[in-house]
Chains A and B, each alone.
Chain A
Amino acid sequence: MTYKFQLSKWQLIAWSTGLLLSTPLFFLLVESLQGDSEVFTHLWNTVLWDYISNTVLLVLGVGLLSCLIALPLGWLTAYCRFPGKQQFEWALMLPLAMPTYIIAYVYTDLLDYAGPVQITLREWFGWQSPSDYWFFDIRTLPGAIIMIALVLYPYLYLIFKTALREQSFKLVQASQLMGLSAWKSFFKVSLVLSRGAIVAALALISMETMADFATVSYFAVSTLTTAVYDTWFGYYSLTAAAKISGVMLLLLFLALITERFSRRNQAVFERQSSVNSEALYILKGKSAWLATGFCSFILIISFIIPMFVLLKYAVMYFDQAWNSEFFSYAWQSLKVAAVVSAVTITLSVLVVFYQRIAKQANPLIPGRLASTGYALPGTVLAIAVLLPLTLLENTINRILTPYDLDIGLLLTGSLLTIIFAYIVRFYAVAHGAIESSFSRISPSLDMASQSMGKSQGHTLRLVHLPLLRRGLLTAGLLVFIECMKELPAALLLRPFDFESLATHVFQYVSDEQLELASISALFIVVVGFIPLYFINRSMEQRS
């Protein structure tokens, strides 16, 4: 016989996970609020405002440019029929797989003084020196804005397209019967109705832009992300780095609030039950070519050119790039990614299972806590993870000193830190995927299993896990890929003997020798296609 008022082991596991994974954020908040740091005061008095204004300008610029690119693309693919529409619809999200530092490198290579574009121009016009003409300098803030927008616009494109698809054609048709031109009805109906979706997408883009480290670092544009990195490696001041991170958190928080708020507004709009599949406008003649031309142009500059250059490098420098370095770094990355995937999957299954069976109040809190790391940019996360781990390390060492023992940098000097950081950062990815798979299992299956004498643990093993198999695989894969791609946290936290594919590629980018790491770069891009496949599939299932 079982008695009431017992703390279930599931509750214990879920809350421990939630608390453990939110520890870094908690430490970061405390550290950034308390005490005074000389380094921070110095930065505050000198360069910090430039960093902040650069960051804000970068975010605004990327947002604006993304709108200019993605809103027309979304409207064209959702409502119009024109040559190549079906291919563009999925191809236009491919840039998401392209790390910004790769596209930034490729365009720098193409557009700088010694690059093919300027050489050709000089040949055509007979210019002799840089003083003879003006040319756009890509390694600037506007250049960074273009590079980042070219990679991040697909977020807005995908979300806006989906929002348009879910609006009934009848609304647009009704507005046209009432005398609005297609152009006007886009502004007065489609755009207004998708306002919530657009704001949510822009918030997401802002967060990703703020988190971007590689492009701004490569272009030497100082933003808050690079400031965190430089403060840690320049001054070794965790407190100052934490304080700068605190400033970033404030900006991020604004973006998050905006996103949440716009989503709430979005829910008010009535959704139609079925999604439009036919086109509303069939474009012909000049307008059809214009549509195809615009889509092609964006696809070419955001994806085809960088991909082409990368492939060219890989072919030309195959012997140098296809070497033991590639394999050893790929292997190291794979190992870390595999461990992180396995741990996050296990933890998120347990937490989501607790959400499902909990009879206690607020069963969602552990999952929410554990997911907080996802919003943190890689550099900020790295600092956040270092704070509790160094404290733990120092404490252990202090306790051990009387016994002449010392664990040294057992935690922060080893892969444990990077693994922990990745788990904190990507837990949310696994949680989301597993939550959605779990929700597809009818609750009556749980009741049936329980009524037949199976304990909750048995039910999880015998009923849920077999049914979750595909969901687990997807979640694992998504986490795995994120780990392979993550750069700034790896740069900050890797032990001396560790190099991931991403840090390896970035190192060569910084040294202006991407050719030599072109196969690794290609590998990262190709691996990045996999989650796009899942996004595309889930969107097709909805329509």
Chain B
Amino acid sequence: MSSLILQGVSYAYNGTKVVDDLDLTLGKDEIVCLLGASGCGKTTTLKAIAGLIEAKQGQVFIDGKLVSDANTFVSPEHRNIGMMFQDYALFPHLTVANNIGFGLSGMSKTDKQARVDEMLKLVHLVGCADRYPHQLSGGQQQRVAIARALAYKPSLLLLDEPFSNIDTQVRFELIADIRRIIKAQQVSAVFVTHSKEEAFAFSDTLAVMHQGKIAQQGTPEQLFAKPSSKEVAEFLGQGIYLSATALTATEYETQFGVVKSILPQQHAVAEKGVIYVRPHQLELASCNNNELQCECVTILSSRFIGSAYVYTVVIAEQEIEVAAQYGQSFEINEQVIIKIKPHTVNFFKS
């Protein structure tokens, strides 16, 4: 059974549609990430799931139960949802133990205590039960927040950019930690972020949002290798567009020669369009061995990143940074040729 279904959900602020006819399905114990630039409607979607705002249209089902449609609105306190906030939202006047126990109701005191202890153990904060939130480090506060959100066994966990306040050095360690905790508790989760690195590290599936809609949903690998639209392709990594004409299912004519695709693509032969090329699929070479007589580009600037030089070049009127191979070096203003390595080509019809 799906733990969450959104069907045609819409929401508008002052007449501007922020979430527009959005569909999303989440399997049992799955962690899905809503990924998108700021303002794409991802936090609004999260709030609509939690019931913190009322979706104007569409239906929301949690664990198969209808919680929101044109006639029904279950208020947040009756949805049995766990939520983790960007600022953690720990109650400053309560101890760690009381924060974790806040959502436990209808339980005997001993059961409550036992559950709090269990959660403290799960998040490795056994000694901190009587401390107050301000006495904890950022990472500890975050673990209290996750323990609190999971303590009352919610049907669904929502996470609103929970890692954005964490230092980059420890961020991925914590992401792994929180992921382990969620998996251990066997709960489905919706995670919102604008950082694709966090999304790749944390989620089972990605749902890229664009202009209030889910542009594409799938595993990180699927989305990266085979984006369904230009927006998804651009969001998941920098790149450039090159005009191309399909020669066969695996070959494309471009201004830099023929580009080969590893996998055959679905399109008509001789179709015109563009291909999206990412920096790591490019190679720079000196113009001296330009046997194919293809177009040269100029090196604009260079930057040393330790293992190699990265050069900025302009290709088809788009600036892009391409890493040189180890030991390779070019002068500024030097003419170079661009080679495109064979890869799974992303071809978009024009």
Q: Across the interface, which residues of A come within 8 angstroms of B82, CB to CB? A: 451-452
A452-474 interface mask toward B, CB cutoff 8 Å, 1 = contact, 0 = none?
Answer: 11110000001100110000000
Q: Does B76 contact A (CB under 8 A)?
A: yes
Q: Which of A83-91, A99-107, A296-304, A442-450 contacts B (4 or more CB under 8 A)?
A: A442-450
Q: Does B81 contact A (CB under 8 A)?
A: yes
Nearest chain B CB to A503 CB, angstrom units: 42
A1 engages B72 (CB within 8 Å): yes
Interface of B with A (CB < 8 Å)?
Answer: 50, 52, 54, 71-83, 85-89, 91-93, 102-103, 105, 148-149, 152, 154, 158
CB-CB under 8 A for A447 and B72, given A359-B54, A453-B77, A453-B103: no
A450 to B78, alpha carbons, bound, how many Å?
9
A345-365 interface mask toward B, CB cutoff 8 Å, 1 = contact, 0 = none?
Answer: 000000000000001000000
A444 engages B77 (CB within 8 Å): no
A448 to B146, alpha carbons, bound, how many Å?
11
When C-beta atoms are compared, the residue in chain B nearest to A467 turns out to be B93
Q: Does A4 contact B (CB under 8 A)?
A: yes
Q: Across the interface, which residues of B come within 8 angstroms of A467, CB to CB? A: 91-93
A444 to B72, alpha carbons, bound, how many Å?
24
A445 engages B52 (CB within 8 Å): no
How many A residues touch B, CB cutoff 8 Å? 21
When C-beta atoms are compared, the residue in chain A nearest to B88 turns out to be A444
Q: Across the interface, which residues of A come within 8 angstroms of B93, CB to CB? A: 463, 466-467
A2 engages B83 (CB within 8 Å): no
A4 to B152, alpha carbons, bound, how many Å?
27
Q: Name 25 A/B residue pairs within 8 A (Cβ), A-sorted.
A: A2-B73, A2-B75, A3-B71, A4-B73, A359-B54, A442-B89, A444-B87, A447-B50, A447-B52, A447-B76, A448-B89, A449-B102, A450-B52, A451-B76, A451-B82, A451-B103, A451-B158, A452-B82, A452-B152, A453-B77, A453-B78, A454-B77, A454-B103, A467-B91, A467-B93
Q: Across the interface, which residues of A come within 8 angstroms of B81, CB to CB? A: 451
B54 engages A2 (CB within 8 Å): no
When C-beta atoms are compared, the residue in chain B nearest to A443 turns out to be B89
- A-B pairs, top 3 by smallest CB distance, nearest first, are A452-B103, A444-B89, A448-B89
Nearest chain A CB to B13 CB, angstrom units: 13
CB-CB under 8 A for A445 and B89, given A2-B78, A452-B152, A453-B103: yes
A511-525 interface mask toward B, CB cutoff 8 Å, 1 = contact, 0 = none?
Answer: 000000000000000
**Contact for B91 among A359, A453, A463, CB less than 8 A:** A463
A434 to B87, alpha carbons, bound, how many Å?
23
CB-CB under 8 A for A444 and B86, given A359-B54, A467-B92: yes
Nearest chain A CB to B238 CB, angstrom units: 33
A442 to B105, alpha carbons, bound, how many Å?
24
* Secondary structure of the B contact surface, majority rule: loop
B71 engages A4 (CB within 8 Å): yes
CB-CB under 8 A for A448 and B71, given A1-B78, A359-B54: no
A4 engages B72 (CB within 8 Å): yes
Q: Across the interface, which residues of B come within 8 angstroms of A447, CB to CB? A: 50, 52, 76, 83, 85, 89
When C-beta atoms are compared, the residue in chain A nearest to B160 turns out to be A444
**Contact for A442 among B72, B74, B83, B87, CB less than 8 A:** B87
Q: Across the interface, which residues of A come within 8 angstroms of B72, CB to CB? A: 1, 3-4
A150 to B129, alpha carbons, bound, how many Å?
57
Sample of 11 further A-B pairs with CB below 8 A, known A448-B148, A467-B91: A1-B72, A2-B73, A3-B71, A442-B87, A444-B86, A445-B89, A448-B89, A450-B75, A452-B77, A455-B77, A462-B102
A450 to B72, alpha carbons, bound, how many Å?
18
Nearest chain B CB to A422 CB, angstrom units: 31
Nearest chain B CB to A462 CB, angstrom units: 8
A452 to B145, alpha carbons, bound, how many Å?
12
Nearest chain B CB to A450 CB, angstrom units: 4
**Contact for B76 among A1, A450, A462, CB less than 8 A:** A450
A462 to B93, alpha carbons, bound, how many Å?
10
A1-23 interface mask toward B, CB cutoff 8 Å, 1 = contact, 0 = none?
Answer: 11110000000000000000000
A451 to B158, alpha carbons, bound, how many Å?
10
Nearest chain A CB to B33 CB, angstrom units: 19
Q: Across the interface, which residues of A come within 8 angstroms of B88, CB to CB? A: 444
